[in-house]
Homo-oligomer: A and B are copies of this chain.
Amino acid sequence: MTDYLKNLMTNGRAMYLAYDHGFEHGPEDFLGKSINPEYILDIAVQAGFNAVILQKGLAEKYYTGTKYQKQIPLIMKINGKANIWKGGDLYPRQNCSVGYAKKLGASAVGYTIFLGSAHDTKMFQDFGRIVEEAHQLKIAAIAWVYPRGEFVKDDTSPEMMAYAARIGLELGADMVKIKYSGSTESFRKAVEAAGKTKVVLSGGPRLEEAEFLKAVKSVLAAGGSGVAVGRNVWQHPKPLEMAKKIKEAVFA
């Protein structure tokens, strides 16, 4: 089995700095200087993240061909949705080809699947094709798997997290990014369900520092590989210090 993640992990562990919030939520998430992609890229480099997660536009204008490309790998997020429409169409279509992501220097592509939505088989289909294209180009395919829709009562229940992790494995993801299931024990079930697919925590909204670090440690204790974190770092008053603490937790 080719290790498509070799460029994206250190000793089997990883921390990624996520910065696709301008797409998913709009600039309202950006406190202080965090609206500036270079500010974020500097944090990512200085704090020693394993990769930065960007949409195509940010990559093309701030990463590709800049100093950052030599300093840190890129995970290109290739679908997304804005948070304005609330009418039920939960299908964030692909907005960047795998070939273009590779051309812009990405070591992996990321794609969100809303497991349980009316459109989930479309996302299974898209991601299946993306896996094939990514592997033919020798880059990794990472699935963000979030249970969602009217039939999902609790989108972080242990059962849902295990299902989300397993769907990533079944569809050929090299890594799956899921939410915290609430306990080490339940997250361990998800990691187990994912098998050889690596599991990283999806950081989510800003939490109390201690609470977030506890979740990270729980994930690692459960056999998870690390964390993709955004707001909990760059909304923190001291991002580099927070990143250092996360790093210690991930690589402990």
Residues of A within 8 A of B (CB): 1, 20, 22-23, 26-28, 30, 35-37, 55-58, 60-62, 64-66, 79-82, 84-87, 89, 91-97, 100, 115-118, 120-122, 124-125, 127-129, 131-132, 135, 147, 149-152, 159, 162-163, 166-173, 189, 192-193, 195-197
Question: Across the interface, do B57 and A197 meet the contact criterion of CB distance under 8 Å?
Answer: yes
Chain B nearest CB, measured from A79 CB (Å): 8
A125 in contact with B37 given A85-B116, A115-B84, A172-B57 (CB within 8 Å): no
Question: Across the interface, do B84 and A26 meet the contact criterion of CB distance under 8 Å?
Answer: no
Nearest to A163 among chain B residues (CB) is: B26
Give this chain's copy count. 5
Chain B nearest CB, measured from A25 CB (Å): 9
Partner pick for A93 among B56, B65, B84, B125, CB 8 A cutoff: B125
Residues of chain B within 8 A (CB-CB) of A37 are 195
Residues of chain B within 8 A (CB-CB) of A120 are 81-82, 84-85
